């Protein structure tokens, strides 16, 4: 479900781009906002597909858990199926976290150059993508705990932490800037 939050973040970025395009005041950024609107739509669709992929990956884990384990051969086959299923279950949210990184520059742009009457929406978009990234990272980590392949675990854990830290640094800066600008407007 973390991908749903990412889809909402992308939708808000697209909405602010659309509202910017609707205002004559922002004609100078129209080409940029057209591109943002189109990319936001694309990312919304990708995130929605990830919701389904995540559910399917979880179903594979459940299916593997239900495999018989009476004989040594069955135990080995079950363990192999579980290992593969948990790896897939970790990869889907890792890809969701990566997608958040693709939404981040759109949010930065709409916060900086988008319709300022929708500035709060840019701030909410940043928070939705942070929530998506945090949720996706948690989902990766819980699946990694069940994987025996130590190299895979270590590599994926390191990458997820790096990706999440970078995402949060970017988008928390946007959220903080938006909040500061809105607070200053209410003096």
Task: Provide the CATH number for the domain around residue 95.
Answer: 1.20.120.680
pLDDT band at 119 (very low <50, low <70, confident <90, very high): very high
pLDDT score of 66 more than 90: yes
Per-residue DSSP letter, 114: S
**Confidence (pLDDT) at 90:** 98
Mean pLDDT of the chain: 97
Q: Mean pLDDT across the stretch 20-25?
A: 96
What is the domain range of residue 13? Answer: 2-185
pLDDT score of 100 more than 90: yes
Global confidence as pTM: 0.93
**pLDDT above 90 coverage of the chain, percent:** 98
Based on the structure, what is the number of domains in the chain? 1
SS3 176: helix
pLDDT score of 75 more than 90: yes
**Confidence (pLDDT) at 94:** 98
**Confidence (pLDDT) at 57:** 96
**Confidence (pLDDT) at 167:** 98
pLDDT score of 1 more than 90: no
pLDDT score of 143 more than 90: yes
**Cα distances (Å, whole numbers) of residue 62 to 18, 58, 122, 186:** 42, 6, 38, 52
Mapping DSSP onto H, E and C, the string for 41-78 reads: HHHHHHHHHHHHHHHHHHHHHHHHHCCCCCCHHHHHHH
pLDDT score of 49 more than 90: yes
pLDDT band at 133 (very low <50, low <70, confident <90, very high): very high
**Confidence (pLDDT) at 187:** 80
């Amino acid at each position: 479900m973390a991908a749903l939050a990412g889809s909402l973040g992308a939708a808000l970025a697209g909405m602010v781009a659309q509202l910017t395009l609707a205002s004559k005041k922002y004609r100078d950024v129209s080409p940029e906002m057209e591109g943002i609107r189109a990319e936001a739509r694309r990312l919304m669709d990708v995130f929605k597909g990830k919701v389904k992929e995540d559910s399917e990956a979880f179903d594979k884990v459940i299916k593997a858990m239900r495999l018989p384990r009476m004989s040594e051969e069955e135990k080995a086959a079950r363990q192999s199926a579980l290992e593969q299923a948990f790896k897939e279950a970790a990869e889907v949210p890792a890809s969701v976290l990566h997608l958040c990184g693709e939404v981040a520059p759109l949010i930065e742009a709409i916060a900086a150059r988008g319709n300022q009457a929708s500035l709060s929406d840019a701030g909410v978009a940043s928070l939705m993508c942070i929530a998506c990234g945090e949720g996706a990272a948690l989902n990766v980590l819980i699946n990694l705990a069940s994987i025996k392949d130590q190299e895979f675990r270590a590599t994926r854990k390191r990458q997820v932490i790096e990706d999440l830290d970078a995402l949060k640094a970017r988008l928390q800066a946007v959220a903080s800037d938006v909040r500061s600008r809105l607070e200053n407007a209410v003096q």
